[in-house]
Amino acid sequence: MNFGFTQILTLFGSLSLFLFGMKTMSDGIQKVAGDKMRSILSAMTSNRFMGVLTGLIVTTLVQSSSASTVMVVSFVNAGLLNLSQAIGVIMGANIGTTTTAWIISLLGFKVSIAAYSLPLIAISFPLLMMSRERLNSLGETLLGFALLFMGLEFLKSSVPDLNNNPEIFEALGRLTDYGFYTTLIFLGIGTLLTIVLQSSSATMALTLVMCNNGWIGFEHGAALVLGENIGTTITANLAALMGNSQAKRAALAHTFFNLIGVIWMLIIFKSFIGQIDHFMVKFGLGSPFAISTMVPIGLSIFHTAFNIINTFLLIGLLKYFVTVVEYLLPSRGKKFERPQLEFFSSGFLQAAELSVFQAKKETIRFAELSHRMFNFIPAMIIETDKKEFEDLRERVSKYEEITDRVEVEITTFLVKISKKQLSGHAAEELRRMRLVCAEVEKIGDVCFKMSTLLAKKKEEKVYFTPAQRSELFEMFKLTNDAFEQMLENAEKGESFARQNLSRSIQLEARINAFRDAVGEEVIEDIEKGVAHVKSAFYFNKLVSSCEKIGDTLLNISEAVAGVNIE
């Protein structure tokens, strides 16, 4: 046998070049279409067919169903998708991943595309040097495309020749003598290969090369493809291990979906591949059972037909998938199961451009949390029951701890994303989000100080006058108006925030003017003996705290709008 350690390294090196090319091409495509992909994701609704279409488009662009499904799991974990939406996207991702097989089959074997790799690199290199971002990303895409097919060409030549290595053919021949069990054996090999390589695309490339070189036939190649469909679910399940129950459910639903598909396919396996053979012969392509070079085309048809049929068969059962996984993985009983971003950084960052979308949503939810925290303060002022008051104070304290922790989590996630290759627009968005997170954390600190002040006021048995209460609640209303405007700016983005920045400025000016007006009234009330000095002290402190929050809210709106953030 003429296949030693050097040849094994050459084979793995070829596979690595193929994967590196695919990753480079994927990164380039994401930069070119990053904003559009984020728009696709943000427009996602509970409509199951829209979810399938979304999964198909994103996986086609990212060229990795594993990356797509890890993204979906992380979206579910962060509360950005519900389980029904996630399962729909996963179904679409399974169809989207079939494009890899078609690219390899149509170009990798039928056209000597590797001969054009060096000219493509020659074109891509000057594009990579250009300052225009879109041209730069296009150059990266072309470079990845060239490397991908160079890797495939090396892979084809590094796979052992059966004429010079008859032992391999004999070993494979021994595996083909067990009837239906042979199909199960090759299914298991496909599953194991995909788990080890962590890429169904790489396993598919190996399968197509082996079939094209005559190692294995059409039937055994189709069994390997089925195994790849099972193996690809492992990545999402690994990503979900440390996630919340919803993330685990999404990963489990992915596994069930693919397993059910493989089971019904095994029942009609012989008949199904026979129909593909009949179809190919009828259209003059040649039989994949008789011509080894036709096997890649046959497997591409099999892979696509299987995933499309499986999706249309099971999409009507989507709600039952949700019911089953919720039954098998019940909630852990926590009242609030807060999402954790960092658990998904490694898998999710395979698509760094899209991770900006998740970071934006999480930042908005962080801002909403600070708004809820602020509204505990007026509740504390009107609460007369001592136990209820202490409960409110404890909730403010817990929220303050949460804001500190969430700021660290989001900022850490943003820093990890920023280390990846991003478009200039995405990098600028990350910078603004870091500023927003820092400002939101300040609101948490101010609210905690306000709750401490109110606790001390209660301890000292100091009471606000009816006029002071009325003015405080007017100040709270003004601050809430500013909160709502800030949240709307953050939700709708830069363009909306810029158009409505004047309203944000007006709201902050009204807060400042109200603070100045009531400050003068307090002095007059003290001089007239209407208000006690201590109540005036606490009143002024609360009003000043609201004014600080108003300043912070304006800073956030300006950061979203890209104004005054140097």
Once rounded to an integer, what is the mean pLDDT over residues 196-200? Answer: 69
Greater confidence (532 vs 563) lies with 563
Please say if the pLDDT value at position 233 is more than 70. Answer: yes
For 401, the token pair is 């701890």
Please say if the pLDDT value at position 274 is more than 80. Answer: yes
**Would you state the pLDDT for residue 164?**
54
Please say if the pLDDT value at position 101 is more than 80. Answer: no
The H or E element that residue 343 is part of is none
Domain segments of the chain as ranges: 5-328, 352-561
For 55, the token pair is 């999964």
Nearest to 39 by CA among 515, 386, 256, 360: 360
Among 8-12, 36-40, 346-350, 522-526, where is mean pLDDT lowest? Answer: 346-350
Please say if the pLDDT value at position 455 is more than 50. Answer: yes
Q: Specify whether the CB–CB gap between 330 and 322 falls below 8 A.
A: no
**Would you state the pLDDT for residue 343?**
34
CATH fold of 352-561 reads Methane Monooxygenase Hydroxylase; Chain G, domain 1 (1.20.58)
Please say if the pLDDT value at position 204 is more than 90. Answer: no
Q: Which amino acid is at 253?
A: A
Once rounded to an integer, what is the mean pLDDT over residues 63-75? Answer: 62
Please say if the pLDDT value at position 168 is more than 60. Answer: no
DSSP-derived secondary structure for 430-478: HHHHHHHHHHHHHHHHHHHHHHHHHHHHHHTT----HHHHHHHHHHHHH
The phi, psi pair for 383, rounded to 5°, reads -75, 125
Once rounded to an integer, what is the mean pLDDT over residues 195-200? Answer: 70
Once rounded to an integer, what is the mean pLDDT over residues 101-109? Answer: 71
Among 40-49, 289-298, 437-446, 456-465, where is mean pLDDT lowest? Answer: 40-49
Mean pLDDT of the chain: 78
Please, which pLDDT band fits residue 374 given cuts at 50, 70 and 90?
very high
Once rounded to an integer, what is the mean pLDDT over residues 377-396? Answer: 91
pLDDT tens-digit profile of 331-373? 654 444 444 443 334 444 445 556 777 778 788 888 999 999 9
Greater confidence (549 vs 167) lies with 549
Please, which pLDDT band fits residue 488 given cuts at 50, 70 and 90?
very high
**Would you state the pLDDT for residue 336?**
41
**Predicted structure pTM score:** 0.58
Among 141-155, 425-439, 542-556, where is mean pLDDT lowest? Answer: 141-155
**Would you state the pLDDT for residue 335?**
42
Please say if the pLDDT value at position 537 is more than 50. Answer: yes
Please say if the pLDDT value at position 264 is more than 50. Answer: yes
DSSP-derived secondary structure for 171-209: HHHHHTSSTHHHHHHHHHHHHHHHHHHT-HHHHHHHHHH
pLDDT tens-digit profile of 246-255? 778 888 888 8
Nearest to 351 by CA among 145, 93, 155, 46: 93
Q: Which amino acid is at 401?
A: E
The winner for highest mean pLDDT among 11-15, 344-348, 499-503 is: 499-503
